[in-house]
């Protein structure tokens, strides 16, 4: 099967640790830019996995998210396959300035949340971290219920800010989470993706519990950049 007419780097190997997010970003951006033309049939899963250097489960998660968002359509049967949608999803019903500045929103979130992780690693009490561990367990039980998952997710991130003992950081975190909620609502949330995100929560808390500020910062950065890659693949450039 021949590849769609697109630059070779669309299907170049994925190198990021966040393979799902980078795969989604790569394909979503190629669709938005017209590098993968409307109606084009994607290569077979085995071929795509080989070209992108990702596992079949990672590829299926990315394709599922793009189908849910309306960028791809899946057709079953002998003549089926995965095709680029004939028309992209309609414009999002969000203020134009919010969509135009979504990268800036992510930048602010990165600065706030990484800073919170570092400070929390030096200050968080064991009892507070126990409660946050409980939220991770709650999210693990809510993978099929995104609104409930997201409520626990927000409580966890705000809880990390509370663990620093800084009212200003709590306020900054609350504002940041509010802005991100409006963006995150527009992307698909397959259970596999939520499970991966929640596993990152666990690693963040573990680093904080060890008092490892640099480790917490690294885990938080990977966590946030994963979301940013998904947004980059689905939101307007």
Task: Give the model's pLDDT for residue 102.
Answer: 85
Based on the fold, state whether residues 106 and 73 are members of the same structural domain.
no
Based on the fold, state whether residues 75 and 109 are members of the same structural domain.
no
Give yes or no for residue 116 having a pLDDT over 60.
yes
Quick count: other Cβ atoms within 10 Å of Cβ 106? 20
Whether the pTM exceeds 0.95: the reply is: no
Give yes or no for residue 24 having a pLDDT over 80.
yes
Based on the fold, state whether residues 113 and 230 are members of the same structural domain.
yes
Q: Does some domain include residue 40?
A: yes
Of 198, 138, 128, whose CA–CA distance to 158 is shortest? 128
Give yes or no for residue 1 having a pLDDT over 80.
no
What domain range includes position 72? Answer: 8-84
Is the four-CA dihedral 162, 146, 131, 121 of positive or negative sign? negative
pLDDT in tens, 137-186: 999 999 999 989 999 999 999 999 999 999 999 999 988 988 888 788 77
Based on the fold, state whether residues 118 and 209 are members of the same structural domain.
yes
- Choosing from 61, 84, 107, the residue where a domain stops is 84
Of 53, 49, 38, whose CA–CA distance to 4 is shortest? 38
Report the Cα 169 to chain-centroid distance in Å: 23
Q: What is the CATH number of the domain that holds 142?
A: 1.20.120.530
Q: Does some domain include residue 90?
A: no
Q: Does some domain include residue 91?
A: no
On average, the pLDDT of the chain sits at 85
pLDDT in tens, 36-55: 888 989 988 899 899 888 89
Task: Give the model's pLDDT for residue 80.
Answer: 81
Domain count, the chain: 2
Based on the fold, state whether residues 34 and 75 are members of the same structural domain.
yes
Q: Does some domain include residue 102?
A: yes
Of residues 34 and 153, more confidence is placed in 153
Of residues 22 and 116, more confidence is placed in 116
pLDDT in tens, 50-72: 988 889 988 988 898 888 888 89
- Choosing from 49, 84, 119, the residue where a domain stops is 84
Is the four-CA dihedral 44, 47, 51, 52 of positive or negative sign? positive
The residues that bridge with 198 in the sheet, in sequence order, are none
Task: Give the model's pLDDT for residue 224.
Answer: 95
Q: Does some domain include residue 182?
A: yes
Confidence class of residue 87 from pLDDT cuts 50, 70 and 90? confident
Confidence class of residue 192 from pLDDT cuts 50, 70 and 90? confident
pLDDT in tens, 200-214: 999 999 999 999 999
Of 44, 12, 47, whose CA–CA distance to 27 is shortest? 12
Based on the fold, state whether residues 106 and 186 are members of the same structural domain.
yes
Based on the fold, state whether residues 12 and 78 are members of the same structural domain.
yes
């Amino acid at each position: 099967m021949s590849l769609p007419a697109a630059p070779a780097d669309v299907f170049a190997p994925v190198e990021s640790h966040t393979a799902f997010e980078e795969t989604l970003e790569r394909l979503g951006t190629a669709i938005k830019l017209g590098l993968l033309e409307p109606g084009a049939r994607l290569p077979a899963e085995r071929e795509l996995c080989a070209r992108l250097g990702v596992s079949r489960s990672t590829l299926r998660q990315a394709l599922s998210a793009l189908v849910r968002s309306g960028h791809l359509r899946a057709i079953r049967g002998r003549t089926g396959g995965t095709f680029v949608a004939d028309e992209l999803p309609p414009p999002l019903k969000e203020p134009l300035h919010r969509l135009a500045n979504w990268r800036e929103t992510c930048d602010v979130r990165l600065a706030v949340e990484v800073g919170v992780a570092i400070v929390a690693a030096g200050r968080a009490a064991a009892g507070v971290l126990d409660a946050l561990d409980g939220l991770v367990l709650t999210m693990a039980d809510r993978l099929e219920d995104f609104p409930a998952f997201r409520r626990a997710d927000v409580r966890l991130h705000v809880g990390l800010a509370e663990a620093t003992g800084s009212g200003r950081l709590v306020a900054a975190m609350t504002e940041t989470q509010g802005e991100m909620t409006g963006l995150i609502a527009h992307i698909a949330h397959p259970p596999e993706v939520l499970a991966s995100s929640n596993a990152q929560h666990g690693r963040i808390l573990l680093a904080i519990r060890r008092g490892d500020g640099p480790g917490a910062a690294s885990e938080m950065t990977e966590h946030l950049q994963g979301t940013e890659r998904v947004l980059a693949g689905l939101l307007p450039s």
